Structure 1
Amino acid sequence: MTKYHYTVSVLVLFIFLSSYIPVNDPLDRIISSFEKYLSERPQEKAYVHTDRDFYALGETIWFKTYLTAGPFHQTSTLSNTIYIELIDTGRQIIKHHKIFSPDGFASGYLTLPDSIPPGSYLLRAYTNWMRNSEEEYFFHKQITIVSGIEEKGENEFPKDVIDLQFFPEGGNLIEGLMNKLAFKAIGRDGWSRNVTGEILENGNIIREFKSNHLGMGVFAFIPEKGKNYQARVKETGQTIQLPNSLASGILLSVTNSPKSNDLLIKIQSSKNSELKQVLLLAQTRGLVGATSRIDLSNKISFSKIPKKEFPSGITQITVMDEEGNPLSERLVFIDYQDQIQISVNPDKMSYAPRDSVHLDIEAKDQNGNPVIANFSLNVVDGGQIYLDENGETIQSYLLMSSELKGHLESPGYYFNPENQDREEALDLLMMTQGWRKFTISEALEGNIAKPEYPIEKGITVKGKLVDKNQNPLAAGSVSYLSLFPFPDSKTAQTTEKGSFELTDLVFFDTTKLVLQGKAENGKAGLILLDTSYLFPKIPNNQPLFNSKKAALPKSFLSESELRKNSNKAFDLDNSEYLLDGVEVKGKKIEPEYTGPKIYGEGSVKVQVAGNPGLENQQHPLELVRGRVSGVQVSGNGSDWKVLIQGYGSIKNGTDPLIMIDDIPIDIKSLITIPVQDIESYTVWKGPDTAVFGSRGANGAIGFYTRKSINGKSSIKQEAETLVLKGYQVQKEFYSPKYPVQNINNPKPDRRATIFWEPFIQTDSLGRASVSFYNHDIETEVFGQIEGLSTQGKIGVGRFSYKIEK
C-alpha cells in the first residue's frame, strides 16, 4: 500500500489499493482537478436556524445564520455578507436583508407584515460567492404563515396515483448478474407513500417488495435476456415497467454496515465484457480518500476501504474505465457519530407560570473532551408549536441535504438515534437521491469555470453616473463617505459607459452616509443605482414549495388571536400599564399637509419622513408593498409590477398611474428616486380615481418629495446625494422579566416562542448557561439547541420541561 499526501486546508490522505500508477494516469488528473477545485472554488454553505417553522401575520421570524467553507465545514473566512430573503409562492421577494457575518456567525429577524396573504413562504439564504453554483446550493427553508383564523379547505391530491421510481445500484441493471434495485414511492403531492407490490416476469409473479414508512425499499433479482419485468403496486393496481437491463457492463455493489470499520466493495463484469481492468475512486466533498486499479480478469473483485480515511458525510464511489470514463457510481453515508454531544439541563423539571428558568449547557466531543462552540437556542410552547424531531437541523443539512438534489422528506430522521432503522433508511436514501456535487466528468475535463461572482467582504454598490439628460459620464468619479461603525471613504472611477462599482463597504441600516458623483470637469452628476444584481432569479422549473401542510396545533391559532388582542391593550414595555379611561381636552394641531395639491387627499396617505422602518427601504415601491390594503406590489431591482384592486381599463392595461410630485412618470424611473427624499405617498383606488379620468382607470400612486427652502423639489437638483440601505442592525428578542415585585404584571403572556438566544458561546470547559422567564400557560415546553465549532464539528441537542400551577 502506497500513501500520498496532499495539503488543502488540512492534511488529506490518499490510499491506493495497488502500488502501480502509470504516468498521465486519469486518476492523477482527477485528483489534481479535485485539488484545484477545492483551492480555487471552495464551497460555502449557509444554514439558517429559526425560532420555529410557522408564524401568525404580524409576528417576527428570529434566525441565526451559520456560514461554512470547505470540505470540513469550518466557519467561513471568505464572505462577510449573507443575503436573507422571504419569497412567496409567486416567486416574488417579499423581504430582503443583508446580514453582516465577519466570523461565520450572525443573527437577524424578519418582521411579517399584517397585509401579506397567509400561506407558504420560502426563506432563502446565500452569499454572492455561492451564486457561482446553481440555485440548489442556496439554503432554502419553507415557512408557514397563518392569519390567526382557521383556514378552510386543503389541497387535495389523488390518493390512488403513485409515482414509483427504480434505481439500480451503481446505475444500471446487468443481465445475468444479481442486481440490487432500490425504489422510491411518492404521491402527487411529492411526499412518500408506504407501498407493497409484486415483481412480474412476463406476467408471472417472481417476488414481492415492500417499502419502509418513507416510501423506500430494495430487493435483489437476476434479470435475464429477452424477458420483460414489471412492478405492480398492490395499493393502487398500477403497473410500472422496470428499467431496461444491459447485455454487457459493470456491476458495483457496496456494503456499508454500521458494525464494520470498512466499506466492502464488490465489482463484477458480465461474461461478455471485454474489460480486464477498471479504476476505483472514492471521495467525500472533494477529498479523495481512496483510489485503486481493480483486476477483473476473473470477472469479479472484492475490496475493502477503511472508513477512517473519510470525514463524516456522503462518499461518492465511482468505477471508471482506463480512460477515466465513469461506468458505475454509488453514494454511501459514513457516520462516525463524531458530532458534538450537547447536554442541556434545566435547574428543575417543573416550573410555575412566569417562573425563572436556568439552563446549564455542556458541550463535549465523542471522547468526552470539552468543546468550544457557538450555538443558538429556541424554546417553544409545546401546546402551540410542534417541534419536529425529524426536521432539518444543522447536522442533517451540512452533512446530507446540502449535498443532494431534490426535496428531502424528514431529513432529521436519519440522524435521530431514537429511530432504530435510521442507518438502513439512510443507505436507501443514498441509492435513490440525486447527486449534485462536482462530478468525475467535470474533473477529467478540468472544467472549472472562472467565478462570475466575487467574494464579498462588505456591501457592493453598482450604478451609472449620468448628466441631467441621462447621458453617461465617462472618466467621472463616485465617492462614498460613512462615519459609522468607523470612518470610511472610497472613490470609484466610471467607465466609458459611465458605470461604477464600489466594493467591500460596511455600513448599517440606521447609518447616515452619502454617495456623490462628479463628471471629469468637476460638475455634479446624477447617480442611477443598479440593484438588479442583488436578486438572483428563481428558476421557474425548480419546485421550491412542498404541498404538505405544516403540523399546526389548533391552540396556536387561538393563542395568536389572544396575543394580538392583548398587544392592543397592553404596551410591550413592562413599565407601561393600561389605565382607566380619562378625558383629555385640548385643541388638535393639524400638521402641514405634504401630500398632493392637485388631486386631493386620495384613498390612503402614508407619511414616510420620520419613520425609520420606511426611510431605510431601497426602492419607493417597497414603501407600498404589504402596507396598503388592495394594492399588490411585486418585483425587485428595476423590474416591478403594481396591481391596485378594482376594475381596470382594458385599453390602458393594468398598470396604475405613477407620479412624482403630481407629475406622471414611468414605473421604471422610480429606481432613480432615493427613498430618503420622499416625504409621503398617496394611493388612489376605487371611486377616488375619478379625478384622473381615464388615466386613473387602474388606480394611482403619488410620491411626494421633501421640499427645499425655495420650494423646489430636492430630487431635481443636479448634485445628487443618495442614502443607501446597509446591513441589518441586530435587535434583541423580547423576553419579559418577572422579578418578585413584578410577578403580577397585568399583561397576559402567551408567547409561542418563550425564549430565543442566537449566541451561546461555550467556554474552555465546554460550558455555558442562560436564564429566562416562562409565560402564563400550563404546558410542556420543548427546546432545541444547535451549532458549530470553528473547526466544523456539529452539534444538536433537545430538552423539555413542564409549566404547571
Structure 2
Amino acid sequence: MLFRCFTTAVSLTVALALVPAASVPLWAQAATPAPATEKAYLHLNQEAYAAGETLWFTAYVLPAASPSQVVYVDVVAPDGQLLAHRTLAVRAGSAPGDVTLPASLAPGRYLIRAYTTQMRNVPASLFTRTFLVQAAPQKTAADETALAVQFFPEGGSWVSGLSSVVAFTATDAAGRGQAVSGTVQDDQGKEVARLVAGPTGLGRFELVPLPGRRYEAHLRRSGELAARVYALPVAQATGVSMQVQEAGPDYLVTVRRRSPQPPAAPESLILAAQVQGRVVVSQQARLQEVTTFRLPRKQLPAGVVRLVVLDAQQTLYCERLVANGEAAPGLTVRIQPDKSQYAPAERATLQLQVLNAAGQPVAGRFSVAINKARPAVAAATPDIYSYLTLTSAVGGPVVPSDAYQAPEALSGRLPDDWLLTQRWRGGSEPGAAAYAPEQGLTLGGKVTNDRQEPVANVPVVLTRPVTQKTEQTLTDAQGHFAFASFSAQDTLPVRLEALPIKGVKRPRILLDAEVASVAPLTEAEAQMPLGAASEAVGTSAAGSGTAAGRRGIELRNVVVEANGRPALKPDNRRIYSRADAVIQVQNIVGISAYRDVIQVLQGRVPGVTVVSNQGFLQVVMRGNSSSSMERFRLAPAATARGARVPLPPSAETPTGSQTGKSPLLLLDGVSTDINMINSVPVNDIETIEVLKPAAAAIFGDRAGAGAIAFLTRRGNPNYDPTRPAPVLPPLYAPPRYSRPQAFRPAPALSPDVLYWNPTVQTDETGRARVLVDVAPAAGVYTITVQGISGAGEVGSGRAELRVVTPR
C-alpha cells in the first residue's frame, strides 16, 4: 500500500501571468525558454517477452513537420544498466527497429525509451515505458489471487478535519485493473465511505478524517466472499488541502488550511497553472482557513494542466493534474479480415481503412502486430493516441493501466480519476536549448574541466586520419559541441581533440553516446544512472590564439618572409642560419592524426608540392627557375609503418634543369632517406625546415634540388626527458544508423508472435492490404495497428483473428 504526499519545497523558474510584478516572488519572474515541441512514441509488437526473444518496434516522431530526422531508442535494465542503444533514421515520421534480448536476461520489468536530440533539452519529455521479461518462452498468466491497492489524496496531502477526495487503484500481480467494491471504516467499525472501482481498477471516495482516528478499506472482487483489509495512512494533524471541481466554464479550486492553536496569520498564496513547465495563468490571494480560486478554463490550453498552490517563499503546498477540454479527435483505424475464422496455416488477408475525424480517407504510415491473445500477461499501456493526448504531458514513466483501453478513457471522469493517481514527473523545468534538431548523423558531446564542469569556447577539432581533413568548432555556453558532417556511408574512424585554453590545460571530452539520467522504474528509484559516458582527454599542445570557428587545416604556423628568410636560433644540428620556410609541427591542429611526416608538408610551403597517388609519393620543389621531383613508392610490409622507398632511377620522371635530382633529406642534421624519415613518429618531430636550391647551396651538389631538414624533439640540445610526450588522441567510430532486421516468425522461441510489419502504407483512399500466414496452432490472436498520417494525425485500432482446427 502506498500513500503519496507531495508537500516538498521546490524552486520553479517560470513567469506568472495575471499577477502584479511587485507581488510575484523573484523565482516566478524569471523568463522560461520554450519547451520542447517534439514528441516520440514506441509501438512494441507485444507487451511481454521471454529472454532471448526479439523485441520489434516502430518509433514515431511528431509533429509531422518535425525537423529531427534521427531518433534514439534505449533499453535499460531495472538496475539502470544500458542493454541496447539504437540510432534510427526517421522517414515519413517513423523508424522501424529491433532489439534481440539476451538469453540470460533475468525476469522482471524493463524500461525502453525513445527521444530525439532536441527532446533532451527537457529530459521529462522523453518517451518512457516498461515491458515485462519472463523466463519461460510460454508466457504465464499472473497470480489471479493477488490484489494491490494504492491510495492517492487529492492535492497530495490528507489532513484531519478537512474534506478530501481520495483516489485509489486496484490491480493484480501483473498490474491489470480489478473491479472491486467495499467500504471505508474507522477504528470503531463505523462505515464512513463506500468504494467502487470498475474494470479499469480506478475509483475515488470523499472523506473528512477525524483527529486521532484510523481508517481501513474493506474490499472484495466480484465473486469473493471475504473482504480484504487495507489500512489507510494516519491523517496529518495540520496542513493544507486542495480540491478542484468543474463549475461551468471555470475550475473552482478550494484551498483549506488546518492551523495549530492559536490560528496562523493569513499569508500570501499563489495558484499557478502550468503546461510543460511554463506558467500560463496564475492568481494570488490571502490564505485564510478556506480560500477559493475561480480559474477560467478558456484561459488554459487544451490537454493536461498542472495546478500548483505555493506560498511567497516558494513552498509547494499542493499539486493536481487536470484534463482541460476535450481531446483532439484521432484517426479511426478499421481492420477487416477477409474471413471470420481460419484454418491452421491458412493465408489471411486483412483490409485496413483509415479515416480522419471528418470521415475522410487519409494516407499514412502504420505498424501492424498480431499476437496470441493473453489478457492476463500485463496491464495495458498507452497507445499512440492516448499517449500523445494524455500521458505525454505527465512526463516520465507511467504505470500501465487498463484505463487506456476503456472506451471512455479520454472523456468523462475516467481521465480525472487516472490523473488523481499520477504525480507530476516533470523533473527539472526546461533549460537552455543546448541540443538542436538533427537533420542527419552527428557526433557531439560536452567538454569539461577536471572538476567535471562544462567549459565554453573550447576549440574542438575533428580529424579524419585517412583523408587528413579537419573540422573545428567551439563549445557553447553549456560546453556542448557537435559535428554534423557524417553520412550513412562513413565507416572510417575519426579523432577528436579538445584544445587547451586559458585556465583549462586538459579539457575532457564526454561523448553524447548516452543520456546522463534515466527516469525511474519504481517509486523507490528516484533516478537511474545510465553508466559513464565515453570519455577522451584532449592533450594537444597547440598554442593559444586558435582561430574560432575556422575549418580545414590551419596554415598559420608556417613562417615565410617575402623579403628575406627568417633567422633561426643557434642549434648544433644546423650548418645554416636561415631557412625559406619553417613549420612548427607541434602547433598544427590535429597533428596526431597524420599517418607520416612527409604528409605534413602537403599544402603548407609555397613551391613545395607533395602528391600521393596509387601508392607513390611525389615531392616537388621549385626555386630559381628550376624544379626537381622525387618519386617514392610504398615500402614492403616489413619496413617501418608508412615508410616509402625511392623508385629506381629509370622510373623517375625528371623535369627542369635538375634532371634526376631530388631534395636532400636531413634528420637532426644527418643526411638520410625517406624510409628513415617516415619511421619517426609524427609526434616526435619538432620542426621541419625547408631550404630551396639557393639556400641549400651550403650542402653542395647533393642539395642542388633543395633540402628539407627534420628536427626531432629528442635531438634538441634543450630536450627535457621528464616532459611527457604528446598522447595520441583516441579514435572514435563514426556515428552510424542501426540496421533493422527483417521480421521472421520464430515459433520455437516466440510462439505468441504471429506477424509484425513496421511500415504499412495506406494510399490516398486510406486503404492498405496485409497478407498474413496464419499460425499452425488454433487460438485467438489480437491485431493491433498504430500509426500516423501525413498531416500528423495519429490513431490506432484493434481486431481479432480466429484460428480454428477443422473437425
- Distance (whole Å) between structure 1 residues aligned to residue 177 and residue 772 of structure 2: 40
Match for 2:331 among 340, 357, 362? 340
> Post-superposition shift, 1:270?
6.6
Deviations 1:133-182 (A, max 9, x none): 4478452332425454889xx9999979x775441x34455676543333
Q: Paired residue for 1:205?
A: 190
Q: Secondary structure at the match of 1:130?
A: helix
- CA-CA distance at 1:392 after TM superposition: 2.9
Say which is worse superposed, 211-220 or 792-801, in terms of deviation.
Answer: 211-220
Query: How much has 1:187 moved relative to structure 2?
Result: 9.1
Any conservation in 2 of the 1:79–1:456 contact (CA below 8 Å)?
yes
Q: Are 1:378 and 2:378 an aligned pair? A: no
Residue correspondence of structure 1 range 206-355 to structure 2 within 5 A: 207-210=192-195, 212=197, 216-222=202-208, 227-234=211-218, 239-246=231-238, 251-255=242-246, 262=249, 264-267=251-254, 281-285=272-276, 303=294, 305-306=296-297, 310-311=301-302, 313-318=303-308, 328-334=318-324, 335-336=326-327, 338-355=329-346
Structure 2: how far apart are the matches of 1:803 and 1:765? 30
In terms of mean alpha carbon deviation, does 320-329 or 531-540 score higher? 320-329
Which amino acid is 1:757 matched to? N
Once residues 507 and 332 of structure 1 are traced to their aligned partners in structure 2, the CA distance between those partners, rounded to angstroms, is 45
Match for residue 782 of structure 1? 782
CA gap of 1:286–1:635, structure 2 versus 1, over 3 A, is closer
Quick check: 1:37 aligned with 2:33? yes
What one-letter code is carried by the residue in structure 1 that aligns with 2:167? A
Structure 1 position 636, deviation (Å)? 6.9
Q: Give the superposition deviation at 1:375.
A: 2.0
What is the CA deviation profile of residues 289-321 of structure 1, one whole-angstrom value per residue up to 9, with x for unaligned ones? 76667899996758574579632x322234567
C-alpha separation between the residues in 1 aligned to 2:533 and 2:253?
A: 54
What residue is the counterpart of 2:760 in the other structure?
Answer: 760
CA 1:802–1:166 in 2, change beyond 3 Å: closer, same or farther?
A: closer
Amino acid of the structure 2 residue aligned with 1:781: Y
1:52 Cα offset (Å): 1.6
Task: For 1:62, give the aligned amino acid.
Answer: W
Q: Is the 8 A contact 1:121 1:145 kept in 2?
A: no
What is the CA-CA distance between 1:397 and the residue it aligns to?
A: 2.5
Amino acid at match of 1:769: R
1:75 CA displacement = 3.7
Q: Take 2:207 and 2:108, find their aligned partners in 1: how far apart are those partners?
A: 46
Could you give the per-residue CA deviations for residues 419-459 of structure 1, whole angstroms, max 9, x where no partner exists? 8x9844432222232012379xx7xxxxx533455544443
In structure 2, list runs of 5 or more residues that go unmatched: 1-16, 219-226, 448-457, 500-506, 536-591, 593-635, 643-678, 683-729
Q: Distance in 2 between matches of 1:749 and 1:773?
A: 18
2:57 to 63, 83, 89: 63
Is 1:101 aligned to residue 95 of structure 2? no
1:400 and 2:379 are equivalent in the alignment: no
Shift in Å, 1:233: 3.9
| Counterpart Cα distance in 2 of 1:306 and 1:519 | 52
Amino acid at match of 2:431: A
Residue number in structure 1 paired with 2:100? 111
Alignment of 1:559-578 (within 5 A): none
Partner residue, 1:449: 431
Rate the CA distance shift 1:506–1:204 in 2: closer, same or farther, 3 A: same
Cα deviation digits, residues 558-597 of structure 1 (max 9, x gap): xxxxxxxxxxxxxxxxxxxxxxxxxxxxxxxxxxxxxxxx
1:364 corresponds, among 355, 359, 368, to 355
Q: 1:733 maps to which residue?
A: 743
Whole-Å Cα distance in 2 between the matches of residues 749 and 230 of structure 1?
A: 52
How much does 1:100 deviate?
1.9
Question: Aligned pair in 2 of structure 1 residues 134, 198: CA closer, same or farther (>3 Å)?
Answer: same
Give the Å deviation of 1:637: 5.3
Structure 1 position 727, deviation (Å): 0.8
Q: Which amino acid aligns with 1:491?
A: E
Matches for 1:706-721 after TM superposition, within 5 Å: 709-710=637-638
Contact residue 209 and residue 235 of structure 2 kept, 8 A: no
Judged with a 3 Å threshold, the aligned counterparts in structure 2 of structure 1 residues 241 and 717 are, in CA distance, closer, same or farther, namely farther
1:91 maps to which of 64, 80, 85: 80
Gaps (5+ residues) in structure 1? 1-15, 69-73, 443-447, 466-473, 521-527, 547-633, 640-671, 673-707, 737-746
Asked whether the 8 Å contact 1:77–1:103 carries over to 2, the reply is no
Distance 1:789 1:544, change over 3 A: farther
CA 1:24 to 1:386, structure 2 compared with 1: closer, same or farther past 3 Å? same
Q: CA offset at residue 195 of structure 1?
A: 7.4
Task: Indicate the structure with greater helix content.
Answer: 1
1:788/1:545 Cα in 2 relative to 1: closer, same or farther (>3 Å)?
Answer: farther
Aligned residues: 571
Letter matched to residue 205 of structure 1:
K
Q: For 2:129, what is the secondary structure of its paired residue? A: strand
C-alpha distance in 2 between matches for 1:536 and 1:765: 41
Equivalent residues of 1:340, 1:363 under 8 A apart: yes
The residue number in structure 2 matching 1:587 is none
* 1:433 aligned onto 2:422: yes
Question: Is 1:534 equivalent to 2:513 in the alignment?
Answer: yes
Q: Is the 8 A contact 2:193 2:207 kept in 1?
A: no
Q: Distance in 2 between matches of 1:769 and 1:252?
A: 51
State the Cα distance separating 1:535 from its structure 2 match: 2.5
Change (3 A) 1:353 1:411: same
Contact 1:67 1:76 in 2 (8 A): no
Task: Look up the equivalent residue of 2:406 and give its one-letter code.
Answer: N
Provide Cα deviations, 1:17-71, integer angstroms capped at 9, x if missing partner: xxx87566759996995xx432xx3154321112123344544322100123xxx
Q: Matched residues in 1 for 2:531 and 2:307: separation?
A: 44
Q: Report the secondary structure of 1:338's partner residue.
A: coil
- Could you report, residue by residue, the CA deviation over 1:504-563 in whole angstroms, capped at 9, with x for unpaired residues? 24444x75335368999xxxxxxx9967641235569753999xxxxxxxxxxxxxxxxx
TM-superposition CA deviations, 1:445-498 (whole Å, max 9, x none) = xxx533455544443436999xxxxxxxx9895334999xxxx97623799xxx
Query: What CA deviation, in whole Å up to 9, does each residue of 1:618-665 have, x standing for no partner?
Result: xxxxxxxxxxxxxxxx977569xxxxxxxxxxxxxxxxxxxxxxxxxx
**CA 533–246 in structure 1, closer or farther in 2 if over 3 Å, else same:** same
Note if contact 1:172-1:246 (Cα within 8 Å) is conserved in structure 2: no
TM-score, normalised relative to structure 2: 0.57
Partner of 1:391: 381
Partner of 1:350, secondary structure, is coil
The structure 2 residue matched to 1:491, chosen from 471, 480, 483, is 471
Q: How does 1:476-515 map to 2 (within 5 A)?
A: 478-480=462-464, 491-492=471-472, 503-508=483-488, 511-515=490-494
Alignment of 1:1-80 (within 5 A): 26=24, 33=31, 36-38=32-34, 41-68=35-62, 74-75=63-64, 77-80=66-69
Residue identity opposite 1:795 in structure 2: G
* C-alpha contact (below 8 Å) 1:48/1:125 kept by paired residues: yes
Partner of 1:586: none
Q: Is the 8 A contact 1:316 1:331 kept in 2?
A: yes
- Identity, in percent, stands at 21
The 8 Å contact of residues 186 and 216 in structure 2, kept in 1 or not, is answered as: yes
Decide whether the 8 Å contact of 1:232 with 1:239 is kept in 2.
yes
- Give a deviation string over 1:330-365, Cα, whole Å, max 9, x none: 322244361222112223323344444333322223
Q: 1:542 to 1:416 in 2, by over 3 A?
A: closer
Cα distance change on mapping 1:148 and 1:157 into 2, 3 Å? closer
Q: Please, what is the CA RMSD of the aligned residues?
A: 5.6
Cα distance change, pair 127–275 in 1 and its aligned pair in 2 (3 A):
same
- Summarize deviations over 1:251-299 as a string: whole Å, max 9, x none: 533148xxxx745525366797976997655454468776667899996
SS of the equivalent of 2:392 reads helix
Q: Which residue of 1 aligns with 2:522?
A: 543
**Match in the other structure for 2:502:** none
SS in 2 for 1:229: coil
Q: 2:441 aligns with which of 459, 466, 487?
A: 459
Residue 516 to residue 270, structure 1, CA distance change in 2 (3 Å): closer
